[in-house]
Amino acid sequence: MKQHDTSWVKALQDKVAELSPSLPDIRHELHSYPETAYKEKRTGSLIRDLLAGEDLRILDPLLGTDVVCTLQGAAPGPTVLLRADMDALSMNDESGKPWRSLTTGIHHGCGHDGHMTMLIGAALTLSRLRKNLRGRVIFLFQPAEEGGAGAKRLLEAGLFQNTGTPDAAFALHGWPGLPEGVLHTRPGHLMAAQDRFFIHIRGTGGHGAMPQLTRDPVVAASALVMELQSLISREYDPRRPAVLSVCTIHGGTAENIIPESVELSGTTRYFDEEGRYFFRNRIEEMTTSICRAHRVEGTLKYVEGYIPVVNDSAMVDVCRKAVELSLGSACWNGRGDMYMTAEDFAYILDAVPGALLLLGLGETWPGLHTPQFDFNDRVIDRGVTALSSLVLGFREM
């Protein structure tokens, strides 16, 4: 890599220190008014208000609630995209914080309020350091990460036709269980692909005291759940990480009535395309054969979900150098674990080289997607510094 002037580091640190005290209040506002996928209207309006007046070009939304801004540097150079997700989860907030959700049944349980706050901070910081910036920045506040494939839909709607195709793309995700303020990632696969399956088993119901007159879907469902577990333990290559979990079973209305039907649903996780074909085909085969053996009918609906998150190895090295310059080597771990979770930033990384980084929230911090979760305000300035440094320290390879 070419050697370049790093005088931007001190300017960045000073600007983040100046901005830092105002950022927790922004996050608390976002946290108190969460909105689910494709309904992030108040959230988007707040972001636009906070960025208005800066040297940013705010584009018209493509999906109604997205916020996309661009910043042109003082000198020519590469284009870097920074992304944060916007949507909340359909669950209650039991964090007990003064800024807890004011909307019953909706909660920022995955930290997207923190992600948005860090990107707002980076946009404000870089706008005010425009003289240090070579090239252009795209700030993407993306709706509908939680199952809505907002990143994929933005690309299909012409995101890069509007902004130009970036040379690199980066995002941060707050992560409980990792040391506070330390950035973790790895080259190659970081997160898994994610599919869903839904199985409907129909039999013949009847009295629980006369099972011989029924075709019991409960017994068939039980057998199927147990047999599905053997796909991982006995058929899938143990050198390739994968998960199959049956997560819901619904059937029956009373303890003495054998029901007419049972519904199952679950998820599969894997890291390569072969995994998708394997799970789809084998779940269908098992559903058909086990239901036939139990004299019931079984139907499978298999829904393809997100593709794996794959980091570009050269971009991970860019991240390492930028983070070590701006935050120090103690804040970097470039040999982090792979995770079976899924993230739709994968679609952006499938289109352009880049990396997803995990920002440690603390080793004992409440877990993601739990009612007790709340983003750690102490790491916001680290995230702003990291995102900004990925732009200021980025150089074409």
Using one digit for the tens of pLDDT, what is the confidence trace for 246-304?
999 999 999 999 999 999 999 999 999 899 999 999 999 999 999 999 999 999 999 99
Dihedral pair phi/psi, residue 200, rounded to 5°: -110, 125
Task: Please state, in angstroms and rounded to a whole number, the distance separating the CA atoms of residues 252 and 262.
Answer: 7
Per residue in 223-240, pLDDT tens? Answer: 999 999 999 999 999 999
Q: Which of 47, 30, 38 is nearest to 102 (CA)?
A: 30
Instruction: Spell out the domain ranges in the chain.
Output: 8-191+308-392, 193-303
Is there a common fold for 8-191+308-392 and 193-303?
no
pLDDT exceeds 80 at position 149: yes
Indicate the CATH number for domain 193-303. 3.30.70.360
User: pLDDT over 70 for what percent of the chain?
Assistant: 98
Superfamily for the 8-191+308-392 domain:
Zn peptidases (3.40.630.10)
CA distance between the termini of the chain: 6
Dihedral pair phi/psi, residue 140, rounded to 5°: -115, 115
Per residue in 78-104, pLDDT tens? Answer: 999 999 999 999 999 999 999 999 999
pLDDT exceeds 80 at position 335: yes
In this structure, are residues 82 and 387 in contact, taking their beta carbons and an 8 Å threshold? Answer: yes
Per residue in 355-378, pLDDT tens? Answer: 999 999 999 999 999 999 999 999
29: Cα within 13 Å, side-chain hemisphere: 15
Assigned token pair, 37? 């996928």
Of 3-7, 24-28, 219-223, 337-341, the poorest mean pLDDT is in 3-7
Residue written as token pair 């506070």: 180
pLDDT at 396: 40
pLDDT at 174: 98
Average pLDDT in the 49-62 region? 96
